[in-house]
Amino acid sequence: MKKINHPKRNLWFGFHKNMGGFIFDETAQGGVDKKEHVRLYKLKEKKMGLFALAVKTQIVKMNSKQELEYKPPVDFYLNIIKKIRHTHCFGCKAEINSRDWDICNKCGWIRCQCSACGCSWSEHQY
């Protein structure tokens, strides 16, 4: 993996032969059992995922052609970490943020792992 020059974060990016490009962000590892799993940002899908720790060991440095191909999604990630939104899920009360969870295309809210987002908010209002 290759280190990304960032003033406040420890970031690396690389390529997995079967799954494509990834970013490892040290600050995104909260709540992860680090002996078994790792949270990685999958560049083509533009989202975080939880993977078996062995996947991280299979990620290698990209060649120059791959670096050019993955530059736009790397830049996208660097841009989103500047504007991370932090909140909690109104459904299950989990701590969620806009980096590690998907954003609902319909309502713009962070979609929790329990599937709650702004689209289902009205059923929880009293």
Domains of the chain, by residue range, sit at 2-83, 85-126
Q: For the chain, list the strands marked E by DSSP.
A: 2-4, 11-16, 20-25, 37-42, 47-52, 86-88, 95-97
- In this predicted model, which residue has the larger pLDDT, 11 or 121? 11
Q: What is the pLDDT of residue 41?
A: 93
Enter the pTM of the model: 0.72
CA 81 vs CA 25, 66, 121: distances in Å? 10, 22, 26
Give per-residue pLDDT as tens, 107-121: 999 988 898 999 988
Q: What is the pLDDT of residue 25?
A: 93
Give per-residue pLDDT as tens, 53-75: 999 999 999 999 999 999 999 99
Taking 60 as the threshold, does the pLDDT of residue 125 lie above it? no
What band does 123 get if pLDDT is binned at 50, 70 and 90?
low
